[in-house]
Amino acid sequence: MPPIVPQPLQPGDFYYTAEGYLVFTEQYHRRRGSCCQSSCRHCPWNFRAKAGSQGASGQK
């Protein structure tokens, strides 16, 4: 897998939840170009961690 290169944020790349969490949008993930396999909320690759796996919160 190629290294992940941080991308400068652009309008529409993220929003804040009512709780104050920063959430990346599908737009950002597509520009990023690969799945991080963290079960992100707006994952365009529809990655979902297997039941019982550790670390993935499913709420990113």
- Give the pTM: 0.65
Does some domain include residue 32?
A: yes
At residue 4, the pLDDT reads 65
Identify the band that residue 17 occupies on the pLDDT scale cut at 50, 70 and 90: very high
Counting beta carbons within 10 angstroms of the beta carbon of residue 5, is it exposed (0 to 12), middle (13 to 18) or buried (19 or more)? exposed
CA-based nearest residue to 60, from 3, 43, 51: 43
Q: What total of structural domains would you count in the chain?
A: 1
At residue 23, the pLDDT reads 95
Cα 13 to Cα 22, 42, 54, distances in angstroms: 10, 11, 27
| Domain membership of residue 30 as a residue range | 10-48
CA distance 24 to 57: 14
Does some domain include residue 56?
A: no
Which DSSP helix (H) or strand (E) runs through 21?
Answer: none
Does some domain include residue 59?
A: no
